[in-house]
A and B are shown apart, each in its own frame.
Chain A
Amino acid sequence: MDGFHDLGGRQGFGTVEHTINTESYKPVFKEDWEHLGYSLLFLGVEHLKKFSVDEVRHAVERIEHRLQSATPYFERYVIATASLLVEHGVLTKQELNDALGAEFPLSSPARSKGRAAPQPNRPHFEVDDKVTVRDECVTGHIRVPAYCRGKTGVILHRTSAKWPFPDSIGHGHKDAVLQPTYHVQFTAQELWGSEADGGHVVVDLFESYLDKAEQETGVSDETGAPAANSQPQSVPA
């Protein structure tokens, strides 16, 4: 979903309001209502078992942009949780309005029913493989930040665990396939062109978001042989 939430690389924001090691992170919840953002979210996920954390992320993404930018972090999770409880039939909009004594703001309805994982049973990629992020526009939930769409990087790590495909489970599909994810390392130059400062960005991408990069001229290491060093130093197996 190409929403407001996909902030990576957006320009025009000011300085981050922080100086290292200066503020106490305690109390963790600064106001007496903030804990409800998470504890009611987990009530819905773990106790009522009505929706997944992925659906919560998508419900936050669906909050109207001006409301999304105007409400504090923890309230976005209150709105998302309330919206999912209404969508899953646990509460009615009227019950929320009655409890508030005013109109309770909710996320906009989903504009997509989600999707199954493309090529769900493809062979795994290996460490050191060059991969390109599929250049897909997805109206529903997706865990690909737009800044790496269509970009090529190198795999540093394939996870030893698998998880449900977010574009499916984020819409409540019970049959979401399980996939490993890959830590894909992009050069800053690949992502940001001439403005790059020499660094890297690593994005954790589900298997179905990736394709093997097309062979480039002048690249001689595309032999198909397993990478000699399959355990990079910077990440565990």
Chain B
Amino acid sequence: MNVKEFPPLPTSSRERAFALFDALKKKDLIPDGFIEEMTDLVANQYDPSNGARIVARAWTDPAFYERLMSDSIAAVVEMGYIGAQGEYPVPVVDTPTVKNVIVCSLCSCTNWPVLGLAPEWYKSFEFRARLVREGREVLQELGTELPPDMNVQVWDTTAESRYFVLPMRPAGSEGMTEEELRKLVTKDVLIGVALPNVA
């Protein structure tokens, strides 16, 4: 049998990444601090705690919730979480019968300023291929069992809208402060694969 094999590369991912860096550096095309600032922005400033603040406020401040529904860009600007890959933020609102979940089947598009960068599993071929077709099953495998009358609605991030899930406020959270509520809103809750739970 004459099968074309992909030849094993003689170098590592790390060597190839730094080779590109070195080639650009040699031509003096990388300004001082550019890499460091970009990396700090996406790795530290963009964080799911930002999204948790938006959700906890929406749960506790009806006027803010209304602003978020009527003009989400202005509401997220007000919170200070507009940035690269998050310039048209769209909250998708869970109901007793609809569980919203976000994916980017074509690559990895994510609302960076609100959610932080996409985690590895979100960028995996498995999640990209399966969520749009077997949403309920994927959630179950990840550890989220939905009531039978609740259907999954998958949002495929295929253009410039950048979604985040606004989950229902869980039972048992009635007496919680906004700060306590934020802790219920994890990165997975904002992506939609998990429900907020009062432990």
- Could you list which residues of chain A lie within 8 angstroms of chain B, going by C-beta atoms? 5-11, 13-21, 23, 25, 27-40, 42-43, 47-48, 57, 60, 64, 66-67, 69-75, 78-79, 81-82, 85, 90-91, 95-96, 98-105, 143-145, 147, 157, 159-161, 163, 166, 181, 183, 185, 188, 191-192, 195, 197-206, 231, 233-237
- Verify B42–A78 contact, CB threshold 8 A: no
The residues of B that contact A206 with a CB separation of less than 8 Å are 159
* CB-CB nearest 5 A-B residue pairs: A8-B105, A236-B72, A18-B121, A100-B19, A66-B6
Min CB gap A199→B, angstroms = 4
Q: How far is the CA of A35 from the CA of B37 in the complex (A)?
A: 11
Contact B158 A144 (CB under 8 A): yes
Give chain B interface residues in 101-153, CB to chain A under 8 Å.
Answer: 103, 105-108, 116-117, 119-121, 123-130, 132-138, 141-144, 151-153
CB pair B16 A78 closer than 8 Å? yes
Q: Are A82 and B6 in contact (CB under 8 A)?
A: no
Q: A16-B142, A205-B158 are in contact. Are A91 and B71 (CB under 8 A)?
A: no
Answer whether residue B22 sits at the interface, using C-beta atoms and an 8 A cutoff. Answer: yes
Nearest to A195 among chain B residues (CB) is: B133
Compute how far the CA of A186 lies from the CA of B18 in the bound complex, rounded to whole angstroms. 44
Contact A199 B15, beta carbon cutoff 8 Å: no
A13 and B126 in contact, given A20-B144, A25-B119 (Cβ under 8 angstroms): yes
Q: Nearest chain B CB to A71's CB is how many angstroms away?
A: 7
The number of chain B residues with a CB under 8 A from chain A is 91
Q: Which of B15, B24, B73, B132 contacts A8 (CB 8 A)?
A: B132
Shortest C-beta distance, B44 to chain A (Å), equals 8
Chain B residues contacting A159 (CB-CB under 8 Å) are 88, 160-161
| Residues on B with beta carbons closer than 8 Å to the beta carbon of A163 | 159-160
6 contacts between A and B (CB under 8 A): A7-B129, A9-B133, A20-B144, A28-B116, A102-B9, A234-B93
Q: A199-B151, A199-B152 are in contact. List 15 more A-B contacts (CB 8 A).
A: A8-B133, A8-B156, A21-B188, A23-B119, A28-B43, A36-B35, A81-B20, A99-B26, A101-B11, A159-B160, A181-B159, A183-B155, A197-B135, A199-B135, A235-B90
Selected from B13, B16, B39, B135, the residue in CB contact (under 8 A) with A29 is: B39
| B positions within 8 Å CB-CB of A | 6, 9-11, 13-24, 26-27, 29-31, 34-35, 38-39, 42-44, 48, 68-73, 75, 84, 87-88, 90-93, 95, 98, 100, 103, 105-108, 116-117, 119-121, 123-130, 132-138, 141-144, 151-161, 186-188, 193-194
Most buried by B among A18, A37, A78, A185: A18
- B21 with A21: CB separation less than 8 A: no
Nearest A residue to B130, CB-CB: A13
With CB as the reference atom, state the residue of chain A lying closest to B38: A39
Q: Which A-chain residue is minimally distant from B161 (CB atoms)?
A: A204
Chain B residues with CB under 8 A of A13: 125-126, 129-130
A residues near B44, Cβ cutoff 8 Å: 28
Among the listed B20, B92, B133, B159, which residue makes an inter-chain contact with A99, where contact means beta carbons less than 8 Å apart?
B20
| B29 neighbours in A (Cβ, 8 Å) | 43, 48, 90
Q: Is the CB of B23 within 8 A of A95?
A: yes
